[in-house]
Amino acid sequence: MSTSDELRKLPSVDKMLQDPNVARWVEAYGDDLVVDAVREALSGLREDINEGASYPGGSQAVDRVQACLEAIVQPTLRPIINATGVVLHTNLGRAPLMLRAFSVA
């Protein structure tokens, strides 16, 4: 099949939103996030088809929407340990100084 025939197989955003799994995500995450995920997934599928792949089918398209949605809602902040104070100031007050440090030359 030609690329244009494969591109025609792609569902519309509205058709994807009518899928039961996607509709459930709309209830959980809201319209805006899910619509963004659907558009991103369809864009990725469009790029794959333009590179020579065939349309994978509805269930794999929904899986791609789920992957995009998970990437969107994944928190960007990670817990870290701020140990800069420990590294910079440990024993700083007790460190012996050479006598040359006090001499005025």
How does residue 78 score in pLDDT terms, banded at 50, 70 and 90? confident
What mean pLDDT comes out for the span 28-35? 90
How does residue 105 score in pLDDT terms, banded at 50, 70 and 90? low
Please state, rounded to an integer, the average pLDDT across all residues of the chain.
83
103 vs 105: CA distance, rounded Å: 6
pTM attached to this predicted model: 0.67
Answer yes or no: are the C-beta atoms of 56 and 45 closer than 8 Å: yes
Tell me, what amino acid is at 17?
Answer: L
What mean pLDDT comes out for the span 64-88? 81
